[in-house]
């Protein structure tokens, strides 16, 4: 069932999927990490409570998170074209992926940051740490194991979003599954694509858990 051409196509799709997932995850974290920390810090139980900032930023995050990805994918097409010059292919998919994933990442980061023991933060404040020092030297390092598990979750979510983008010509394994599996009713190809995606999710999740456990000094 798999000709040489088909194998090449799948190989290319696999790489495209990896490319979209990795680049989108990194960019989602570049935006989501600071936003998540901002949410944790400005929370009313945080070290710099600011209801106004927290409500505004939290509101934007909630709005973006409640838009279904398939709709966001289409809605942001003008922005996508503005940035990448096209709305087709894997690079173009990165734009809606980042817009959808960054708020999700922000919430993940926020919840990890809030898990950090309040007492430890208080102790560092008592030693004269500034807000920035508490964030960089206490909250982030102390939350590291939880942040890594969160990153694995974010990566797998972005991976499944990237497959969805196949519907609008996004490239990658999702695109193959839709074009060959769905439109041409080649069920076997669809199943293989799904199996590969399942495998990638498993691998990412396992790696995440492994690194998280490895770096967590609380376990021993």
Partner 1 sequence: MSTIPTVEIRNLNKTFGTGDNAVVALDNINLSIYQGEIFGIIGLSGAGKSTLVRCINLLEKPTSGRVLFEGVDITDFTDNQLRKVRQSIGMIFQSFNLLMQRNALDNVCFPLELVGMPRKEAKERVRELLKTVGLADKEKAYPAQLSGGQKQRVAIARALATNPKVLLCDEATSALDPTTTQSILALLKELNKKLGLTIIIITHEMKVIEQICNRVAIIANSRIEEIGTVDEVFRHPKTKAAKKLIFPKGEYVENISGDGKYLRLVFDGSSADRPIIANMVLKCGAPVSIVYANTKNIDGQVFGHMIIKLQDDDEIYRKITTYLEMENITYSEEKDYV
Structure-block tokens of residue 87:
């709305």
Does residue 128 belong to the site contacting partner 1 (CB under 8 A)?
Answer: yes
- 175 within 8 A of 169, measured Cβ to Cβ: yes
Length of the chain: 220
Q: Which of 66, 126, 132, 185 binds partner 1 (CB under 8 A)?
A: 126
Minimal distance, residue 206 CB to partner 1, in Å: 22
Site string for partner 1, 2-41 (x = CB under 8 A): ----------------------------------------
Residue 216, classed as helix, strand or coil, is: coil
Q: Which stretch binds partner 1 (CB under 8 A): 106-114, 138-146, 157-165, 201-209?
A: 138-146
HSE-CB at 21 with a 13 A cutoff on CA atoms is 27
Q: Which of 5, 78, 85, 119 binds partner 1 (CB under 8 A)?
A: 119
Other beta carbons within 10 angstroms of residue 75's beta carbon come to 14
Does residue 132 belong to the site contacting partner 1 (CB under 8 A)?
Answer: no
Residue 134, CA distances (Å) to 43, 126, 139, 150 in order = 15, 11, 6, 21
Structure-block tokens of residue 22:
């990795």
Does residue 211 belong to the site contacting partner 1 (CB under 8 A)?
Answer: no
Minimal distance, residue 182 CB to partner 1, in Å: 47
Question: 120 vs 199, which CB is nearer to partner 1?
Answer: 120
Question: 133 vs 196, which CB is nearer to partner 1?
Answer: 133
Residue 147, CA distances (Å) to 108, 119, 159 in order = 8, 20, 18
φ and ψ of 65, to 5 deg: -75, -25
Query: Which 141-180 residues touch partner 1, going by CB under 8 A?
Result: 141-142, 144-145
Site string for partner 1, 99-118 (x = CB under 8 A): ------------------x-
Q: Which stretch binds partner 1 (CB under 8 A): 2-10, 30-38, 77-85, 135-143?
A: 135-143
Dihedral of alpha carbons 154, 156, 158, 161, sign? negative
Number of residues that bind partner 1 (CB under 8 A): 25
Residue 217, CA distances (Å) to 109, 139, 143 in order = 20, 15, 11
Q: List residues near partner 1 by CB under 8 A.
A: 117, 119-120, 122-130, 133, 137-138, 141-142, 144-145, 215-220
């Amino acid at each position: 069932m798999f000709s040489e051409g088909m194998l090449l196509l799948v190989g290319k799709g696999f790489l495209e999927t990896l490319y979209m997932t990795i680049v989108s995850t990194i960019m989602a974290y570049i935006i989501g990490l600071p936003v998540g920390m901002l949410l944790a810090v400005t929370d009313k139980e945080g070290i710099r409570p600011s209801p106004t900032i927290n409500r505004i930023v939290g509101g934007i995050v909630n709005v973006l998170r409640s838009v279904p990805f398939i709709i966001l994918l289409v809605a942001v097409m003008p922005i996508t074209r503005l940035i990448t010059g096209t709305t087709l292919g894997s690079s173009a998919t990165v734009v809606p992926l980042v817009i959808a994933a960054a708020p999700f990442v922000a919430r993940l980061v926020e919840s990890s940051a809030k898990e950090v023991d309040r007492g430890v933060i208080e102790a560092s404040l008592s030693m004269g740490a500034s807000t920035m020092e508490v964030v960089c030297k206490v909250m982030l390092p102390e939350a590291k194991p939880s942040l890594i598990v969160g990153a694995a979750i974010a990566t797998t979510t972005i991976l499944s979003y990237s497959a969805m983008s196949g519907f609008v010509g996004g490239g990658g394994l999702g695109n193959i599954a839709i074009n060959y599996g769905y439109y041409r009713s080649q069920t076997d190809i669809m199943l293989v694509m799904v199996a590969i995606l399942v495998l990638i999710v498993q691998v990412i999740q396992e790696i995440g858990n492994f690194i998280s456990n490895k770096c967590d000094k609380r376990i021993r």
